[in-house]
Structure 1
């Protein structure tokens, strides 16, 4: 483009009715012309007075745009000569690389040229079929379990956030803001806010029989970060790690990128149940959910707990206890933690407030043996640069004033009622053919399906009817022993919507089972 044509080109594209200011429009248009080489390197831009007159805009606007282009490297200005388009082409750099490549031996040069061609294809956004992810990234995304649906019948693992005591929380939050808490607006100290660590230690000792001091508590953003931190500090690539099978998909995702060797261990009615072959190869880490196995819901027996702790002591294994949904038991008191039985300092206890308060809080914790606590606190600050001190302070006072314990008691009653409504709706529809697993605790139950029925197909059919369920088989690493079923979360579903939503789900179940020539129905009770 010739400089004499530039004003006409710009005048056709400036939109004086746009909400975007003329300064911004002119800046973007000149950028576009330079990057597309409509204005070639070395081209002298029109004097600011002349361009302003031709575009009928203020000269100061043009001057500011020119100055910004010079600042960003799109143009260069010389006193007495004017403003010129800079050379933004990478050709000069590429040419220098090619000259260096010519100095290499022929075989090495050929290899380098191939690599450069491949890299160029990879960088180019118009080549989506080229592989850009690492093998680790591919493994992670191949097993992704996160859903875009996070609310509604029957999304498992989601509490009823509409019942959160927002008034009490806001009162505490406003109290802190009125103090202008500058010390709470910076990065968190290693391990988290001391006030919250003290409040948590007191709460866990009283409610979960966890033996700890405040110094053993490290604040995190949740279970994922707690396990990620433990994996980073206590294992090396290639180490064996035991996981329950089935287990939480998010746990497998964390391990997918760790370079470890996950070993899925089958569970039975007493919890994790390693075989003789498994026991012959001690792992570095053992991840368990003893108080409420996820997703099946069984409780690890006392005998199995003692065997596991003794095995960990003998072989120097670290046991990571995810105390999932332990607060919500129906018909019995919450069970004591595995950590409370540990006398050798081999158990690392992790938990969060995602289910007891609300998922968006993003506050979790990890309780460590004394010899690990300071290392974890330091590493957490080094790796994650935590903040949210104001929120931690509010949470600490929320716990100390008894609001957490009170809220859990209320929600346990509410969730127990909703669980019963769901069980009754299922029994009315399917009678004695309906079997539920893991319904004595937590925020979901598992509905078994005949082996011939594809639970993924049922879940897909239900989603088309706006009902959310998760297929049980997706939680198994070893698909050869996977059982078919559906995870039904009831906590976030209002009482009056549970039975109608289950009837809608039943339509999907019946339609899918009929295609398999299987009947789920039986004589109704």
Structure 2
């Protein structure tokens, strides 16, 4: 029999937003706590009881409870149950703000509709370091002493211009160094004038969405794909069309005569994120043909192609044909460290000058000394040497993690399209709730990402994304033992 609380939650679930049921349940419970529909200090139903009343999986309830507990809304008392905290956090990052009551400034805490939707979908984790956090390199191996010496040397004779707002597009020395590096390492054909320096790839994509797209324009994105790109496009009013990915990358559909072509085509051809497949030459040529025919722009996100552990390097899509409608994005977040916040965009000749001005107008350039130091770091060969060292280290970690998965769980649990990058996917049976499992592991100090969260559509694969970049092998073994214990209970 349903309780009053379960009826309230069911009503709130109908209004909640989110890709997954546990996210909607979390939002419904959180808002009910914040507007005092569930009073501070009150006892929540046991997860099994609430799941039965709502007719949903207990794992879904557990995942919602665990997220509420992690953010300070509820607490579990051994032998007593789960209770709403008397002292609630002032705000949260994953749901709409609740209007203040009896206050003349009630609207100060409210967000716009698109702001609320953005926070309801955010995937930013409170912890960004440790096993098995995906997408994070081993920042402890960065050659700080070399960097410090370069920076000190440059700082002694620093031109005052590097302490002011940057010129349109960033520092010329870094643009020239990148032009030489990309031509050799990635087969990217460009001049320094085509390179725009940005504060991370998110800023680059935000710029492209604002300047190249109008409200309601369509973008093809990979299915599955990185949630960060989806959020940036969404908040800029771009309509996303998920295109399935297989072992050959995105499979672009035909465009009918009465169908509006995409304004943007967002791909990760060298190492699809998160599945890892490499886009075949036939698919690349088809994408280029479609883009030329329909006036679309291809955004090539080449986020970690430097880390390949077998086979030849995969040339960039940008260099396949002269003056291709491809906007190439690269970053130093994976090769050096994320906190540097330096990325770069290789723009087609016809767009370069306009987008550099737009970037200066919207964001203002800066970090002149960092850009100058990075240019010297590349020019003197330290960047290439660091990549070679880290490629060997990451390859060993990848092999060790793959071996652990195969020995402890079986080959069927190892999803591996390519031998590259900084993460592996632990494939899970369809009956396993990967979101709930990831939440349980986080409570035990093991950081993972649920694969299903990278899909837009409800039909998704289950799995855990395991990053090995920021964990050495001994720590990896300890974390993997915790993971196996939690997973085997569910199996």
Q: Fold match, TM over 0.5? A: yes
Match of 1:387 in 2: 366
**1:439 shift after superposition:** 5.2
Alignment partner for residue 358 of structure 1, among 327, 337, 342? 337
Moved more, 209-218 or 422-431: 422-431
Find the aligned partners of 1:444 and 1:498 in 2 and give their Cα distance: 12
* Map of 1:442 onto structure 2: 421
Asked if 1:258 corresponds to 2:268, the answer is: no
Asked if 1:273 corresponds to 2:251, the answer is yes
> Residue 311 of structure 2: SS of its match in structure 1?
coil
Shift of 1:253: 1.3
Match of 1:145?
A: 123
Aligned length: 393
Task: Flag the 1:438–1:465 CA change in 2: closer, same or farther, 3 A.
Answer: farther
State the Cα deviation string for residues 3-36 of structure 1 (Å, max 9, x = none). xxxxxxxxxxxxxxxxxxxxxxxxxxxxxxxxxx
Other-structure match for 2:217 = 239
Cα deviation, residue 510, structure 1: 1.4
Q: What is the match of residue 227 of structure 1?
A: 205
Query: Is residue 173 of structure 1 aligned with residue 151 of structure 2?
Result: yes
TM-fit CA distance, 1:313: 0.5
Name the residue aligned to 1:213. 191
| Cα 1:447/1:124, change in 2 over 3 Å | farther
In the alignment, the residues of structure 2 paired with residue 431 and residue 206 of structure 1 have an alpha-carbon distance, to the nearest angstrom, of 40
Task: Give the superposition deviation at 1:463.
Answer: 1.1
Query: What is the CA–CA distance in structure 2 between the aligned matches of 1:261 and 1:396, rounded to whole Å?
Result: 37
Q: Over residues 302-344 of structure 1, what are the superposed CA-to-partner deviations in whole Å (9 max), with x where a residue is unaligned?
A: 0000011001110010000001211101112321000011334
1:186 aligns with 2:168: no
1:509 matches 2:483: no
Matches within 5 A, 1:126-525: 127=106, 132-276=110-254, 280-438=259-417, 440-479=419-458, 481-513=459-491
- Structure 1 residue matching 2:410: 3-state secondary structure: helix
How far apart in 2 are the matches of 1:278 and 1:140?
A: 32
Q: Secondary structure at the match of 1:265?
A: strand
Indicate if the aligned counterparts of 1:320 and 1:347 stay in contact, CA closer than 8 A.
yes
> TM-score with structure 1 length normalisation?
0.72
User: CA separation of 1:460/1:399 partners in 2, compared to 1, >3 Å: closer, same or farther?
Assistant: same
| Larger deviation, residues 274-283 vs 163-172 | 274-283
Structure 2 distance, partners of 1:432, 1:492, is: 24
Distance change (3 Å), C-alpha of 1:146 and 1:358:
same
Q: Which has the larger radius of gyration?
A: 1
Paired residues of 1:139 and 1:256 also in contact (CA < 8 A)? no
Unaligned runs of 5+ in 2: 1-98
SS in 1 for 2:424: strand
Asked if the contact 1:419/1:439 (under 8 Å) is kept, the reply is no
Q: How much is the aligned-residue C-alpha RMSD, in angstroms?
A: 2.0
Cα drift, residue 379 of structure 1: 0.9
1:187-241 Cα deviation digits (max 9, x unpaired): 1010001111000111111100001000000000111011111111111001111
**Cα 1:310–1:417 shift into 2, 3 Å:** same
494-503 vs 145-154, greater mean Cα deviation: 494-503
